[in-house]
Amino acid sequence: MALRKACNRLGLRGYSTHSNRRTWATRLDKAGVRLKAIQDLGGWSSMAALQRYLEVSEEEKVEAIASL
């Protein structure tokens, strides 16, 4: 509740504690940490649950297509 109020005062929309988890998991993934390790450290019950938190940038999508 306090985080939501602070974000509202600052004009930050769409931010939540899950934003921190998303950033944390994504940065570990980008650093090459094994997904199973991220899953265990973050307490996700399944790989599918973890993968909902991992973000892929537009640049990464372009690079993936360019690699074909």
Domain that residue 38 falls in? 18-66
Q: Would you say residue 46 lies in a domain?
A: yes
Q: Would you say residue 51 lies in a domain?
A: yes
The domain total for the chain is 1
Q: What is the pTM of this model?
A: 0.75
Q: Which residue ranges in the chain fall short of pLDDT 70?
A: none
- CA dist., res. 66 & res. 54, Å (int): 21
Please report the pLDDT score of residue 12 as a whole number.
83
Q: Would you say residue 2 lies in a domain?
A: no
Q: Would you say residue 8 lies in a domain?
A: no
Report the share of the chain in percent with pLDDT over 70: 100
Burial of 38 (C-beta count, 10 Å sphere; 0-12/13-18/19+): buried
Please report the pLDDT score of residue 13 as a whole number.
84
Q: Would you say residue 6 lies in a domain?
A: no
